[in-house]
Amino acid sequence: MLQCFICYRRRRPWAARSIYKQLLVHQFDVFFDIDTVEAGDKFPDVITNRLARSHVVFVTIDDEWLVEKDGRRPLNDPQDWVRREIEFALNLKIPIIPLLIGDAKMPNAEDLPASLRGLTEFRGVQLHNEEFESDFDKVLRELRRRAEAQVEAQESILRLREYWDRGDWLQIYQQLAEAVASWGGGRHLPSKISQRLAIARELVRAADAISQGHFAAAVQILESVPIDEVPRNVRYSIKLARTGARVTVALDTGQIEVLEAIGNEYANSKREALAAGLDIVPGLSEVGAALDRAQTTIRRRGPVQSEGSGSAPPTIPPLDPIDCSVFAPDSVRGGDRFLIHVYLHKSEDAPASLAVATKVEPSLATDIETGEARQVTVSLETPLRREAKVDIFLEPDGLVVDKDAGNHLAVTWRGMAVGDQFVLRVPRLSFRRTFFPVVRLFAKGAPVGRVRLKILRAMFRAPYARSVTGRMQPYKKAFLSYSSADRIEVLKRAQALRAASIEVFQDVLSLDPGDRWARKLFTHIGESDLFLLFWSRAARNSKWVLKEVRYAMRCKRRSSIPEIIPVILDGPAFVKPPRWLSHLHFADPICYLLAAETTNRAQS
Protein backbone atom coordinates (compact mmCIF):
# COMPACT_ATOMS: atom_id res chain seq x y z
CA MET A 1 0.00 0.00 0.00
CA LEU A 2 1.17 3.52 -0.81
CA GLN A 3 2.44 5.25 2.35
CA CYS A 4 1.98 9.03 2.68
CA PHE A 5 3.49 11.58 5.05
CA ILE A 6 1.95 15.01 5.78
CA CYS A 7 4.37 17.85 6.62
CA TYR A 8 2.61 20.89 8.07
CA ARG A 9 2.77 23.60 10.77
CA ARG A 10 0.92 22.81 13.97
CA ARG A 11 -0.14 26.44 14.36
CA ARG A 12 -2.45 25.99 11.36
CA PRO A 13 -3.42 22.30 11.22
CA TRP A 14 -6.89 22.56 9.67
CA ALA A 15 -5.80 22.00 6.06
CA ALA A 16 -3.49 19.12 7.01
CA ARG A 17 -6.30 17.49 9.03
CA SER A 18 -8.73 17.76 6.10
CA ILE A 19 -6.14 16.18 3.81
CA TYR A 20 -5.54 13.42 6.36
CA LYS A 21 -9.26 12.58 6.54
CA GLN A 22 -9.62 12.56 2.76
CA LEU A 23 -6.68 10.15 2.38
CA LEU A 24 -8.07 7.82 5.04
CA VAL A 25 -11.46 7.76 3.32
CA HIS A 26 -9.74 6.59 0.14
CA GLN A 27 -7.83 3.90 2.09
CA PHE A 28 -4.28 5.27 1.89
CA ASP A 29 -1.76 4.66 4.68
CA VAL A 30 -1.16 8.17 6.07
CA PHE A 31 1.16 9.54 8.76
CA PHE A 32 -0.24 12.59 10.58
CA ASP A 33 1.80 13.18 13.74
CA ILE A 34 -1.03 14.54 15.94
CA ASP A 35 -3.01 11.31 15.54
CA THR A 36 -0.15 8.85 14.89
CA VAL A 37 2.60 9.56 17.44
CA GLU A 38 1.67 7.85 20.71
CA ALA A 39 2.52 8.94 24.23
CA GLY A 40 6.01 7.86 25.23
CA ASP A 41 7.30 7.61 21.65
CA LYS A 42 10.51 9.44 20.78
CA PHE A 43 9.24 12.04 18.35
CA PRO A 44 12.44 12.39 16.25
CA ASP A 45 12.76 8.61 15.84
CA VAL A 46 9.13 8.20 14.85
CA ILE A 47 9.33 11.02 12.28
CA THR A 48 12.56 9.84 10.62
CA ASN A 49 11.50 6.17 10.57
CA ARG A 50 8.14 6.94 9.02
CA LEU A 51 9.64 9.35 6.48
CA ALA A 52 12.11 6.69 5.42
CA ARG A 53 9.19 4.31 4.67
CA SER A 54 7.08 6.89 2.83
CA HIS A 55 6.41 6.82 -0.90
CA VAL A 56 5.24 10.42 -1.10
CA VAL A 57 5.43 13.49 1.16
CA PHE A 58 2.76 16.21 1.19
CA VAL A 59 3.95 19.68 2.21
CA THR A 60 1.13 22.11 3.06
CA ILE A 61 2.03 25.70 2.12
CA ASP A 62 -0.17 28.63 3.08
CA ASP A 63 0.27 32.41 3.02
CA GLU A 64 2.28 32.37 6.26
CA TRP A 65 4.42 29.33 5.47
CA LEU A 66 7.48 31.38 4.51
CA VAL A 67 7.00 34.48 6.69
CA GLU A 68 4.79 34.52 9.80
CA LYS A 69 2.56 37.50 10.58
CA ASP A 70 5.06 38.67 13.21
CA GLY A 71 7.81 38.72 10.54
CA ARG A 72 9.59 35.56 11.71
CA ARG A 73 11.04 33.17 9.17
CA PRO A 74 10.85 29.76 10.90
CA LEU A 75 12.51 27.96 7.99
CA ASN A 76 15.75 29.82 8.75
CA ASP A 77 16.00 27.82 11.98
CA PRO A 78 17.91 24.56 11.31
CA GLN A 79 15.92 22.89 14.14
CA ASP A 80 12.53 23.76 12.65
CA TRP A 81 10.68 20.47 12.15
CA VAL A 82 9.07 21.43 8.84
CA ARG A 83 12.52 22.26 7.51
CA ARG A 84 14.03 19.04 8.90
CA GLU A 85 11.26 16.89 7.39
CA ILE A 86 11.67 18.45 3.94
CA GLU A 87 15.46 18.14 4.10
CA PHE A 88 15.12 14.48 5.05
CA ALA A 89 12.71 13.83 2.15
CA LEU A 90 15.01 15.61 -0.34
CA ASN A 91 18.06 13.67 0.86
CA LEU A 92 16.20 10.38 0.46
CA LYS A 93 14.84 11.49 -2.95
CA ILE A 94 11.25 10.92 -1.84
CA PRO A 95 8.72 12.49 -4.24
CA ILE A 96 7.17 15.64 -2.75
CA ILE A 97 3.77 17.13 -3.62
CA PRO A 98 3.45 20.75 -2.40
CA LEU A 99 -0.17 21.57 -1.51
CA LEU A 100 -0.81 25.29 -1.98
CA ILE A 101 -3.63 26.27 0.38
CA GLY A 102 -5.94 29.05 -0.75
CA ASP A 103 -4.07 31.67 -2.76
CA ALA A 104 -0.61 30.61 -1.60
CA LYS A 105 2.15 30.47 -4.24
CA MET A 106 5.23 28.29 -4.57
CA PRO A 107 8.17 30.07 -2.91
CA ASN A 108 11.09 31.25 -5.01
CA ALA A 109 14.30 29.27 -4.61
CA GLU A 110 16.23 32.38 -3.50
CA ASP A 111 13.79 32.88 -0.59
CA LEU A 112 14.56 29.43 0.84
CA PRO A 113 17.59 28.10 2.69
CA ALA A 114 20.00 26.33 0.34
CA SER A 115 19.05 22.91 1.75
CA LEU A 116 15.37 23.43 0.80
CA ARG A 117 15.72 24.83 -2.72
CA GLY A 118 15.13 21.41 -4.23
CA LEU A 119 11.51 21.76 -3.11
CA THR A 120 10.86 24.30 -5.88
CA GLU A 121 11.54 21.63 -8.52
CA PHE A 122 8.34 19.78 -7.62
CA ARG A 123 5.02 20.81 -9.16
CA GLY A 124 2.47 21.94 -6.60
CA VAL A 125 -1.33 21.51 -6.47
CA GLN A 126 -3.57 24.47 -5.63
CA LEU A 127 -6.27 23.73 -3.02
CA HIS A 128 -8.87 26.51 -2.83
CA ASN A 129 -10.95 26.70 0.33
CA GLU A 130 -14.28 26.82 -1.48
CA GLU A 131 -13.37 24.04 -3.94
CA PHE A 132 -11.26 21.89 -1.66
CA GLU A 133 -12.73 18.49 -2.54
CA SER A 134 -12.68 19.02 -6.31
CA ASP A 135 -9.10 20.34 -6.15
CA PHE A 136 -8.04 17.45 -3.98
CA ASP A 137 -9.26 15.02 -6.65
CA LYS A 138 -6.10 15.97 -8.58
CA VAL A 139 -4.03 14.73 -5.66
CA LEU A 140 -6.01 11.50 -5.47
CA ARG A 141 -5.51 10.87 -9.19
CA GLU A 142 -1.77 11.29 -8.76
CA LEU A 143 -1.72 8.91 -5.79
CA ARG A 144 -3.71 6.31 -7.71
CA ARG A 145 -1.25 6.66 -10.59
CA ARG A 146 1.63 6.03 -8.20
CA ALA A 147 -0.18 3.05 -6.67
CA GLU A 148 -0.73 1.57 -10.14
CA ALA A 149 2.95 2.15 -10.90
CA GLN A 150 3.85 0.12 -7.81
CA VAL A 151 1.65 -2.72 -9.02
CA GLU A 152 3.44 -2.56 -12.37
CA ALA A 153 6.77 -2.62 -10.51
CA GLN A 154 5.71 -5.75 -8.64
CA GLU A 155 4.68 -7.38 -11.93
CA SER A 156 8.06 -6.43 -13.43
CA ILE A 157 9.79 -8.20 -10.57
CA LEU A 158 7.64 -11.28 -11.12
CA ARG A 159 8.63 -11.28 -14.81
CA LEU A 160 12.26 -11.02 -13.75
CA ARG A 161 12.36 -14.75 -12.97
CA GLU A 162 11.91 -15.63 -16.64
CA TYR A 163 14.72 -13.33 -17.81
CA TRP A 164 16.94 -14.40 -14.92
CA ASP A 165 16.62 -18.08 -15.86
CA ARG A 166 17.31 -17.30 -19.54
CA GLY A 167 20.27 -15.09 -18.64
CA ASP A 168 19.09 -12.12 -20.71
CA TRP A 169 21.25 -9.48 -18.98
CA LEU A 170 19.82 -6.42 -20.69
CA GLN A 171 16.21 -7.46 -20.04
CA ILE A 172 17.09 -8.23 -16.41
CA TYR A 173 18.48 -4.73 -15.99
CA GLN A 174 15.52 -3.13 -17.75
CA GLN A 175 12.97 -4.97 -15.60
CA LEU A 176 14.79 -4.03 -12.39
CA ALA A 177 15.35 -0.42 -13.43
CA GLU A 178 11.68 0.01 -14.36
CA ALA A 179 10.61 -1.54 -11.06
CA VAL A 180 12.91 0.75 -9.09
CA ALA A 181 11.75 3.84 -10.96
CA SER A 182 8.10 2.95 -10.44
CA TRP A 183 8.71 2.20 -6.78
CA GLY A 184 10.00 5.65 -5.91
CA GLY A 185 13.73 5.21 -6.43
CA GLY A 186 14.06 1.73 -4.95
CA ARG A 187 14.10 2.70 -1.27
CA HIS A 188 11.23 0.33 -0.46
CA LEU A 189 12.33 -2.62 -2.53
CA PRO A 190 13.63 -5.73 -0.77
CA SER A 191 17.40 -5.52 -0.29
CA LYS A 192 17.90 -8.54 -2.52
CA ILE A 193 16.27 -6.73 -5.45
CA SER A 194 18.53 -3.72 -4.91
CA GLN A 195 21.56 -6.01 -4.89
CA ARG A 196 20.40 -7.68 -8.09
CA LEU A 197 20.00 -4.29 -9.75
CA ALA A 198 23.64 -3.46 -8.97
CA ILE A 199 24.70 -6.84 -10.36
CA ALA A 200 22.57 -6.42 -13.50
CA ARG A 201 24.15 -3.03 -14.14
CA GLU A 202 27.61 -4.63 -14.09
CA LEU A 203 26.40 -7.42 -16.38
CA VAL A 204 25.20 -4.87 -18.94
CA ARG A 205 28.60 -3.13 -18.76
CA ALA A 206 30.29 -6.49 -19.33
CA ALA A 207 28.02 -7.30 -22.29
CA ASP A 208 28.86 -3.91 -23.78
CA ALA A 209 32.59 -4.61 -23.36
CA ILE A 210 32.23 -8.05 -24.96
CA SER A 211 30.32 -6.64 -27.94
CA GLN A 212 33.18 -4.16 -28.52
CA GLY A 213 35.81 -6.91 -28.32
CA HIS A 214 37.21 -5.65 -24.99
CA PHE A 215 37.36 -9.13 -23.50
CA ALA A 216 39.94 -8.41 -20.79
CA ALA A 217 37.78 -5.58 -19.46
CA ALA A 218 34.74 -7.87 -19.49
CA VAL A 219 36.64 -10.45 -17.42
CA GLN A 220 37.46 -7.82 -14.79
CA ILE A 221 33.82 -6.71 -14.58
CA LEU A 222 32.39 -10.23 -14.40
CA GLU A 223 34.87 -11.40 -11.79
CA SER A 224 33.87 -8.48 -9.56
CA VAL A 225 30.25 -9.66 -9.15
CA PRO A 226 29.37 -12.28 -6.51
CA ILE A 227 29.25 -15.52 -8.47
CA ASP A 228 26.54 -17.04 -6.21
CA GLU A 229 24.11 -14.19 -7.01
CA VAL A 230 24.27 -14.16 -10.82
CA PRO A 231 22.43 -16.00 -13.63
CA ARG A 232 23.89 -19.37 -14.60
CA ASN A 233 25.34 -18.18 -17.89
CA VAL A 234 27.75 -15.75 -16.21
CA ARG A 235 30.17 -18.57 -15.35
CA TYR A 236 30.36 -19.59 -19.01
CA SER A 237 30.69 -15.97 -20.16
CA ILE A 238 33.70 -15.52 -17.86
CA LYS A 239 35.40 -18.51 -19.51
CA LEU A 240 34.58 -17.19 -22.96
CA ALA A 241 35.80 -13.68 -22.15
CA ARG A 242 39.11 -15.12 -20.91
CA THR A 243 39.35 -17.03 -24.19
CA GLY A 244 38.62 -13.82 -26.11
CA ALA A 245 41.37 -11.99 -24.22
CA ARG A 246 43.83 -14.72 -25.24
CA VAL A 247 42.69 -14.38 -28.86
CA THR A 248 43.56 -10.69 -28.75
CA VAL A 249 47.04 -11.41 -27.39
CA ALA A 250 47.64 -14.13 -29.98
CA LEU A 251 46.57 -11.78 -32.77
CA ASP A 252 48.96 -9.09 -31.54
CA THR A 253 51.86 -11.53 -31.46
CA GLY A 254 50.88 -13.36 -34.68
CA GLN A 255 51.12 -16.85 -33.10
CA ILE A 256 48.81 -19.01 -35.22
CA GLU A 257 49.75 -22.18 -33.34
CA VAL A 258 48.45 -20.58 -30.14
CA LEU A 259 45.21 -19.72 -31.91
CA GLU A 260 44.70 -23.38 -32.75
CA ALA A 261 44.92 -24.30 -29.06
CA ILE A 262 42.60 -21.43 -28.17
CA GLY A 263 40.15 -22.68 -30.80
CA ASN A 264 39.98 -26.04 -29.05
CA GLU A 265 39.41 -24.26 -25.73
CA TYR A 266 36.59 -22.24 -27.29
CA ALA A 267 34.97 -25.39 -28.72
CA ASN A 268 34.98 -27.03 -25.27
CA SER A 269 33.41 -23.94 -23.66
CA LYS A 270 30.75 -23.88 -26.38
CA ARG A 271 29.90 -27.56 -25.83
CA GLU A 272 29.61 -27.01 -22.07
CA ALA A 273 27.26 -24.04 -22.52
CA LEU A 274 25.03 -25.95 -24.93
CA ALA A 275 25.02 -29.02 -22.67
CA ALA A 276 23.84 -26.80 -19.79
CA GLY A 277 20.74 -25.91 -21.83
CA LEU A 278 21.50 -22.18 -21.97
CA ASP A 279 19.67 -20.17 -24.64
CA ILE A 280 21.76 -17.01 -24.18
CA VAL A 281 25.50 -16.93 -23.46
CA PRO A 282 27.06 -13.47 -23.92
CA GLY A 283 30.45 -13.90 -25.56
CA LEU A 284 29.69 -17.13 -27.41
CA SER A 285 29.22 -15.59 -30.85
CA GLU A 286 31.56 -12.62 -30.20
CA VAL A 287 34.56 -14.78 -29.22
CA GLY A 288 33.87 -17.17 -32.10
CA ALA A 289 33.83 -14.28 -34.56
CA ALA A 290 37.00 -12.79 -33.03
CA LEU A 291 38.72 -16.17 -33.33
CA ASP A 292 37.75 -16.52 -37.02
CA ARG A 293 38.95 -12.99 -37.81
CA ALA A 294 42.23 -13.53 -36.00
CA GLN A 295 42.93 -16.80 -37.83
CA THR A 296 42.11 -15.21 -41.19
CA THR A 297 44.29 -12.16 -40.47
CA ILE A 298 47.31 -14.16 -39.36
CA ARG A 299 47.06 -16.57 -42.30
CA ARG A 300 47.02 -13.63 -44.71
CA ARG A 301 50.16 -12.02 -43.30
CA GLY A 302 51.87 -15.22 -42.18
CA PRO A 303 52.89 -16.39 -38.71
CA VAL A 304 55.67 -14.78 -36.68
CA GLN A 305 59.06 -16.00 -37.86
CA SER A 306 61.45 -17.51 -35.37
CA GLU A 307 64.51 -15.57 -34.31
CA GLY A 308 67.34 -15.70 -36.84
CA SER A 309 65.11 -16.64 -39.75
CA GLY A 310 65.92 -13.35 -41.46
CA SER A 311 62.33 -12.18 -41.53
CA ALA A 312 60.88 -9.62 -39.18
CA PRO A 313 57.63 -10.48 -37.41
CA PRO A 314 54.55 -8.99 -39.03
CA THR A 315 52.95 -6.02 -37.36
CA ILE A 316 49.38 -4.86 -36.97
CA PRO A 317 48.64 -1.80 -39.12
CA PRO A 318 49.64 1.19 -37.01
CA LEU A 319 47.43 3.97 -35.73
CA ASP A 320 48.34 7.23 -37.44
CA PRO A 321 47.64 10.70 -36.04
CA ILE A 322 45.80 12.50 -38.83
CA ASP A 323 45.57 16.12 -39.99
CA CYS A 324 42.89 17.52 -42.26
CA SER A 325 43.60 20.27 -44.82
CA VAL A 326 40.80 22.24 -46.45
CA PHE A 327 40.94 24.66 -49.37
CA ALA A 328 38.04 26.90 -50.39
CA PRO A 329 37.57 30.38 -51.83
CA ASP A 330 37.44 33.43 -49.61
CA SER A 331 34.76 35.04 -51.77
CA VAL A 332 32.51 34.07 -54.64
CA ARG A 333 29.97 35.77 -56.92
CA GLY A 334 26.47 34.70 -57.87
CA GLY A 335 26.65 31.97 -60.51
CA ASP A 336 30.29 31.04 -59.74
CA ARG A 337 31.26 27.36 -59.71
CA PHE A 338 34.08 26.45 -57.34
CA LEU A 339 35.70 23.59 -55.44
CA ILE A 340 36.15 22.79 -51.77
CA HIS A 341 39.11 20.45 -51.32
CA VAL A 342 39.34 18.14 -48.28
CA TYR A 343 42.49 16.06 -47.70
CA LEU A 344 43.65 13.75 -44.93
CA HIS A 345 47.37 13.31 -44.29
CA LYS A 346 50.03 12.93 -41.62
CA SER A 347 51.27 16.15 -40.09
CA GLU A 348 54.59 15.92 -41.91
CA ASP A 349 52.81 15.32 -45.23
CA ALA A 350 50.96 18.65 -45.42
CA PRO A 351 52.85 19.65 -48.62
CA ALA A 352 51.76 16.36 -50.18
CA SER A 353 48.09 17.30 -49.79
CA LEU A 354 48.79 20.54 -51.66
CA ALA A 355 50.54 18.60 -54.41
CA VAL A 356 47.53 16.30 -54.79
CA ALA A 357 45.12 19.26 -54.84
CA THR A 358 47.28 21.08 -57.41
CA LYS A 359 46.82 18.20 -59.83
CA VAL A 360 43.12 19.06 -59.83
CA GLU A 361 43.58 22.86 -59.80
CA PRO A 362 47.03 23.82 -61.14
CA SER A 363 46.61 27.47 -60.08
CA LEU A 364 46.27 26.54 -56.42
CA ALA A 365 50.01 26.32 -55.70
CA THR A 366 50.64 29.67 -57.44
CA ASP A 367 47.94 31.37 -55.41
CA ILE A 368 49.53 30.14 -52.18
CA GLU A 369 53.01 31.30 -53.26
CA THR A 370 51.73 34.79 -54.08
CA GLY A 371 49.80 35.08 -50.84
CA GLU A 372 46.38 34.99 -52.50
CA ALA A 373 45.53 31.69 -50.84
CA ARG A 374 46.18 29.85 -47.60
CA GLN A 375 46.34 26.22 -46.65
CA VAL A 376 44.54 25.68 -43.35
CA THR A 377 45.45 22.44 -41.57
CA VAL A 378 43.75 21.13 -38.44
CA SER A 379 44.28 17.93 -36.45
CA LEU A 380 41.83 15.12 -35.77
CA GLU A 381 42.05 13.90 -32.19
CA THR A 382 41.10 10.36 -33.21
CA PRO A 383 43.98 8.43 -34.86
CA LEU A 384 43.18 6.15 -37.79
CA ARG A 385 44.39 2.65 -38.51
CA ARG A 386 45.48 1.81 -42.05
CA GLU A 387 42.65 0.70 -44.36
CA ALA A 388 40.13 2.62 -42.26
CA LYS A 389 37.20 4.01 -44.22
CA VAL A 390 36.55 7.74 -43.80
CA ASP A 391 33.31 9.37 -44.94
CA ILE A 392 33.28 13.12 -45.61
CA PHE A 393 29.98 14.97 -45.83
CA LEU A 394 29.31 18.57 -46.81
CA GLU A 395 26.37 20.63 -45.59
CA PRO A 396 26.26 23.44 -48.20
CA ASP A 397 24.28 26.06 -46.22
CA GLY A 398 22.55 27.62 -49.21
CA LEU A 399 25.18 26.76 -51.81
CA VAL A 400 24.21 24.34 -54.58
CA VAL A 401 26.06 21.00 -54.66
CA ASP A 402 26.76 19.48 -58.07
CA LYS A 403 24.32 16.58 -58.50
CA ASP A 404 26.86 14.29 -60.14
CA ALA A 405 29.54 14.85 -57.50
CA GLY A 406 27.14 14.88 -54.55
CA ASN A 407 27.79 15.93 -50.95
CA HIS A 408 29.45 12.67 -49.82
CA LEU A 409 33.05 11.60 -50.32
CA ALA A 410 34.40 8.21 -49.26
CA VAL A 411 38.15 7.70 -48.90
CA THR A 412 40.35 4.98 -47.42
CA TRP A 413 43.31 5.90 -45.25
CA ARG A 414 46.45 4.02 -46.33
CA GLY A 415 49.13 6.16 -44.73
CA MET A 416 49.45 8.67 -47.58
CA ALA A 417 47.65 11.93 -48.37
CA VAL A 418 44.18 11.20 -49.66
CA GLY A 419 41.12 13.30 -50.36
CA ASP A 420 38.73 14.65 -52.93
CA GLN A 421 36.73 17.74 -53.88
CA PHE A 422 33.17 18.98 -53.59
CA VAL A 423 31.83 20.87 -56.61
CA LEU A 424 29.54 23.77 -55.71
CA ARG A 425 27.74 26.67 -57.32
CA VAL A 426 26.54 29.99 -55.92
CA PRO A 427 22.85 30.68 -56.70
CA ARG A 428 22.57 33.69 -59.02
CA LEU A 429 19.61 35.15 -57.17
CA SER A 430 20.95 34.61 -53.67
CA PHE A 431 21.12 37.77 -51.57
CA ARG A 432 23.10 36.20 -48.75
CA ARG A 433 26.40 37.89 -48.02
CA THR A 434 28.01 34.97 -46.15
CA PHE A 435 27.80 31.19 -46.42
CA PHE A 436 28.83 28.78 -43.66
CA PRO A 437 29.21 25.30 -45.19
CA VAL A 438 30.17 22.53 -42.78
CA VAL A 439 32.47 19.60 -43.56
CA ARG A 440 31.84 16.54 -41.36
CA LEU A 441 34.21 13.60 -40.99
CA PHE A 442 33.23 10.07 -39.96
CA ALA A 443 35.67 7.21 -39.29
CA LYS A 444 34.15 3.73 -39.32
CA GLY A 445 30.76 5.29 -38.93
CA ALA A 446 31.64 7.41 -35.90
CA PRO A 447 31.74 11.22 -36.13
CA VAL A 448 35.30 12.41 -35.45
CA GLY A 449 35.04 16.12 -36.19
CA ARG A 450 33.69 18.94 -38.29
CA VAL A 451 35.12 22.02 -40.01
CA ARG A 452 32.88 25.09 -40.30
CA LEU A 453 33.86 27.30 -43.22
CA LYS A 454 33.12 30.95 -43.93
CA ILE A 455 32.80 32.06 -47.54
CA LEU A 456 31.87 35.63 -48.47
CA ARG A 457 29.65 36.54 -51.40
CA ALA A 458 31.33 39.36 -53.31
CA MET A 459 29.32 41.97 -55.20
CA PHE A 460 32.02 42.16 -57.87
CA ARG A 461 34.32 39.49 -59.16
CA ALA A 462 37.31 39.07 -56.87
CA PRO A 463 40.54 37.12 -57.25
CA TYR A 464 39.87 33.45 -56.68
CA ALA A 465 41.86 33.16 -53.46
CA ARG A 466 41.63 29.60 -52.32
CA SER A 467 41.83 29.92 -48.57
CA VAL A 468 39.45 29.11 -45.77
CA THR A 469 38.64 30.39 -42.36
CA GLY A 470 37.41 27.57 -40.20
CA ARG A 471 38.26 25.28 -37.35
CA MET A 472 38.14 21.59 -36.57
CA GLN A 473 35.85 20.69 -33.70
CA PRO A 474 36.29 17.09 -32.50
CA TYR A 475 33.33 15.63 -30.68
CA LYS A 476 33.88 14.99 -26.98
CA LYS A 477 30.52 13.82 -25.63
CA ALA A 478 27.48 12.41 -27.40
CA PHE A 479 23.91 12.21 -26.11
CA LEU A 480 21.85 9.35 -27.56
CA SER A 481 18.14 10.12 -27.84
CA TYR A 482 15.95 7.14 -28.68
CA SER A 483 12.83 5.20 -27.81
CA SER A 484 13.18 2.39 -25.29
CA ALA A 485 11.82 0.05 -27.97
CA ASP A 486 15.02 0.68 -29.99
CA ARG A 487 17.45 0.31 -27.06
CA ILE A 488 19.17 -2.87 -28.24
CA GLU A 489 19.79 -1.44 -31.73
CA VAL A 490 21.13 1.77 -30.23
CA LEU A 491 23.49 -0.16 -27.92
CA LYS A 492 25.06 -1.70 -31.02
CA ARG A 493 25.53 1.66 -32.71
CA ALA A 494 27.03 3.23 -29.59
CA GLN A 495 30.09 1.00 -30.02
CA ALA A 496 31.37 3.05 -32.97
CA LEU A 497 31.25 6.22 -30.89
CA ARG A 498 33.20 4.71 -28.00
CA ALA A 499 35.76 3.37 -30.45
CA ALA A 500 36.30 6.96 -31.56
CA SER A 501 37.01 8.02 -27.94
CA ILE A 502 33.70 9.88 -27.67
CA GLU A 503 32.05 9.81 -24.25
CA VAL A 504 28.53 8.46 -24.66
CA PHE A 505 25.57 9.33 -22.45
CA GLN A 506 22.89 6.66 -22.64
CA ASP A 507 20.18 6.49 -19.98
CA VAL A 508 20.31 2.72 -19.44
CA LEU A 509 24.00 2.87 -18.41
CA SER A 510 24.43 6.46 -17.28
CA LEU A 511 21.60 7.12 -14.81
CA ASP A 512 21.52 5.71 -11.31
CA PRO A 513 18.28 4.50 -9.72
CA GLY A 514 16.59 7.30 -7.81
CA ASP A 515 18.19 10.04 -9.92
CA ARG A 516 15.89 12.88 -10.87
CA TRP A 517 16.22 11.52 -14.33
CA ALA A 518 14.39 14.30 -16.20
CA ARG A 519 16.71 16.96 -14.80
CA LYS A 520 19.79 14.79 -15.36
CA LEU A 521 18.79 14.10 -18.96
CA PHE A 522 18.52 17.79 -19.74
CA THR A 523 21.79 18.51 -17.90
CA HIS A 524 23.65 15.96 -20.04
CA ILE A 525 22.07 17.33 -23.23
CA GLY A 526 23.44 20.77 -22.37
CA GLU A 527 26.91 19.31 -21.69
CA SER A 528 27.08 17.32 -24.96
CA ASP A 529 28.47 18.65 -28.22
CA LEU A 530 26.81 15.92 -30.30
CA PHE A 531 23.11 14.94 -30.11
CA LEU A 532 22.27 11.79 -32.06
CA LEU A 533 18.54 11.45 -32.70
CA PHE A 534 17.85 7.76 -33.40
CA TRP A 535 14.72 8.00 -35.53
CA SER A 536 12.10 5.29 -35.93
CA ARG A 537 8.36 4.84 -35.68
CA ALA A 538 8.71 4.26 -31.96
CA ALA A 539 10.80 7.43 -31.58
CA ARG A 540 8.18 9.42 -33.51
CA ASN A 541 5.58 8.31 -30.95
CA SER A 542 7.79 8.86 -27.88
CA LYS A 543 6.99 12.08 -26.04
CA TRP A 544 10.37 11.95 -24.28
CA VAL A 545 12.35 11.70 -27.52
CA LEU A 546 10.54 14.79 -28.79
CA LYS A 547 11.11 16.59 -25.47
CA GLU A 548 14.83 15.80 -25.64
CA VAL A 549 15.27 17.07 -29.19
CA ARG A 550 13.28 20.24 -28.41
CA TYR A 551 15.60 20.93 -25.49
CA ALA A 552 18.66 20.22 -27.65
CA MET A 553 17.39 22.74 -30.20
CA ARG A 554 16.99 25.35 -27.46
CA CYS A 555 20.54 24.68 -26.25
CA LYS A 556 21.86 24.99 -29.82
CA ARG A 557 20.16 28.36 -30.26
CA ARG A 558 21.81 29.62 -27.07
CA SER A 559 25.35 28.26 -27.46
CA SER A 560 25.57 26.62 -30.95
CA ILE A 561 25.86 23.14 -29.36
CA PRO A 562 24.99 20.32 -29.40
CA GLU A 563 25.22 19.42 -33.07
CA ILE A 564 21.98 17.54 -33.87
CA ILE A 565 22.28 14.62 -36.30
CA PRO A 566 19.42 12.18 -37.09
CA VAL A 567 20.28 8.47 -37.38
CA ILE A 568 17.63 6.49 -39.25
CA LEU A 569 16.82 3.06 -37.80
CA ASP A 570 13.85 2.07 -40.01
CA GLY A 571 15.61 2.12 -43.38
CA PRO A 572 15.15 4.42 -46.39
CA ALA A 573 11.33 4.45 -46.01
CA PHE A 574 11.71 6.33 -42.76
CA VAL A 575 8.89 7.75 -40.67
CA LYS A 576 8.19 11.35 -41.58
CA PRO A 577 9.33 13.70 -38.79
CA PRO A 578 7.23 16.57 -37.42
CA ARG A 579 7.42 19.80 -39.42
CA TRP A 580 9.49 21.52 -36.73
CA LEU A 581 12.23 18.90 -37.27
CA SER A 582 12.31 19.09 -41.08
CA HIS A 583 15.38 21.36 -41.06
CA LEU A 584 17.49 18.44 -39.81
CA HIS A 585 17.63 16.88 -43.33
CA PHE A 586 16.42 13.36 -42.48
CA ALA A 587 16.89 12.25 -46.10
CA ASP A 588 20.63 13.06 -46.04
CA PRO A 589 22.91 9.99 -46.49
CA ILE A 590 24.66 10.94 -43.26
CA CYS A 591 21.55 9.77 -41.38
CA TYR A 592 22.14 6.18 -42.49
CA LEU A 593 25.89 6.05 -41.90
CA LEU A 594 25.93 4.64 -38.35
CA ALA A 595 23.28 2.09 -39.26
CA ALA A 596 25.20 0.96 -42.33
CA GLU A 597 28.49 0.67 -40.45
CA THR A 598 26.82 -1.43 -37.74
CA THR A 599 25.35 -3.75 -40.35
CA ASN A 600 28.72 -4.10 -42.10
CA ARG A 601 30.45 -5.00 -38.83
CA ALA A 602 27.78 -7.58 -38.04
CA GLN A 603 28.17 -9.17 -41.49
CA SER A 604 31.95 -9.21 -41.26
pLDDT tens readout for residues 118-139: 898 888 888 887 777 778 887 8
pLDDT at 307: 46
- pTM, two decimal places: 0.41
pLDDT at 427: 87
Question: Residue 351: phi, psi to the nearest 5?
Answer: -60, -30
Asked whether 55 and 184 are in contact (CB, 8 A), the reply is: yes
Sequence-distant (≥ 6) Cβ neighbours of residue 234 within 8 angstroms: 167, 203, 222, 225, 227
Per-10-residue mean pLDDT, the chain, length 604: 84 84 83 76 84 86 88 90 91 85 88 90 82 79 72 62 75 73 53 73 86 86 81 88 87 74 86 83 87 77 50 59 83 82 83 76 68 65 78 87 82 85 84 83 77 75 41 72 80 66 62 51 82 87 87 82 81 72 64 50 48
Backbone conformation region of residue 385, classed left if phi is above 0, alpha if psi is from -120 to 50, else beta: beta
pLDDT at 368: 63
Please, what is the Cα angle at 336 between 333 and 338, to 5 degrees?
115
Asked whether 327 and 377 are in contact (CB, 8 A), the reply is: no
pLDDT at 82: 92
Strands 438-443 vs 388-395: parallel, antiparallel or unpaired: antiparallel
Q: Where would I find the H helices in 514-559?
A: 517-527, 537-540, 543-559
Instruction: Return d(Cα 150, Cα 182) in angstroms, integer.
Output: 6
pLDDT at 515: 40
pLDDT tens readout for residues 313-331: 445 567 788 888 888 877 7
Angle between helices 593-603 and 487-499 (to 10 degrees): 90
pLDDT tens readout for residues 158-195: 666 667 777 788 877 777 776 666 555 444 555 566 77
pLDDT tens readout for residues 513-524: 334 456 677 788
pLDDT at 85: 92
